[in-house]
Chain A
Amino acid sequence: GAVVSQHPSWVICKSGTSVKIECRSLDFQATTMFWYRQFPKQSLMLMATSNEGSKATYEQGVEKDKFLINHASLTLSTLTVTSAHPEDSSFYICSASPLTSGRRTDTQYFGPGTRLTVL
């Protein structure tokens, strides 16, 4: 249980285009989803916290107009990288915290990640 999926698993795009990444909680509802970015051989860095039905909270230094987050339902959050550039190439990972149903609501379950390469 507590499965989180991401789509696509990898994407290659041209510089200047926009890319949308989906994060879904498959067997639970998630009040909160988190988006992380991980560069090669580095740790996970939190980009933003996404709450269903409200605006995302971005970490310092993360451009909200560049990384658009939409959390339209309790099982889906999307991250859109707008006008992507090569420096946005990274591994993007989402996590989700359960609403309830016997699971700790503070536990984060991670998706498998999306590898973005911008040419």
Chain B
Amino acid sequence: GQQLNQSPQSMFIQEGEDVSMNCTSSSIFNTWLWYKQDPGEGPVLLIALYKAGELTSNGRLTAQFGITRKDSFLNISASIPSDVGIYFCAGQLRYAAGNKLTFGGGTRVLVKP
């Protein structure tokens, strides 16, 4: 099935750093979502975006819904060790296509050795 292009695939963080990841699609979505998944667990919703141009924060996390409705980014400020995990973006067509989610490939966030 269709996947979103998510980058980077992986990144190393040092405590205190700001990090950024993004997702692009060839199709328009009317909702963008960002999830975090820890090993052996299900994804947990971090931020949901419902309008083009919307910028939303959740603590140290900030995400934006691109104006073209084909992209989104997630920033993590002042990273801490518990930010390690896999972050997934997901696009959704609300009220169409059965509200299905299309997931990006994930960004694996690791701690710098």
Pair A43/B43 contact, Cβ less than 8 Å: no
Q: How many A-B residue contacts, CB cutoff 8 Å?
A: 58
User: In the complex where A43-B105, A44-B43, A107-B45 touch, is A59 in contact with B1 (Cβ < 8 A)?
Assistant: yes
Binds B, one of A12-20, A66-74, A82-90, A110-118: A110-118
Chain A residues 33-80 with CB under 8 Å of chain B are 34, 42-46, 49, 57, 59-60
Question: Measured between alpha carbons, how far is A6 from B60 in the docked complex, in Å?
Answer: 30
**Which residues of the other chain, A, contact B98 by a CB distance below 8 angstroms?**
32, 49, 57
Interface pair B40/A115, CB less than 8 Å apart = yes
CB contacts (< 8 Å) of B95 on chain A: these are 106
Chain B contributes a number of interface residues (CB within 8 A of A) equal to 23
- Return the CB mask of B72-113 against A: 1 if under 8 Å, else 0: 000000000000000010001011001111011110000000
Q: Determine if B67 is an interface residue (Cβ-Cβ < 8 Å).
A: no
B101, chain A: closest CB distance, angstroms: 6
Q: How many chain A residues have a CB neighbour from B under 8 Å?
A: 28
* Known contacts A43-B104, A46-B1, A46-B101; A112/B92 CB under 8 A: no
Whether a CB of chain B sits under 8 angstroms from the CB of A21 is: no
- Say whether A93 contacts B43, CB under 8 Å: yes
Question: What would be 16 A-B contacts, judged by CB atoms less than 8 Å apart?
Answer: A34-B100, A43-B105, A44-B101, A44-B103, A57-B98, A59-B1, A93-B42, A93-B43, A95-B42, A97-B99, A105-B99, A106-B99, A107-B48, A108-B101, A113-B42, A115-B40
B interface residue numbers (CB < 8 A to A): 1, 3, 31, 35, 40-45, 48, 88, 92, 94-95, 98-101, 103-106
Q: Which residues of A contact B (CB under 8 A)?
A: 4, 6, 32, 34, 42-46, 49, 57, 59-60, 91, 93, 95, 97, 104-113, 115
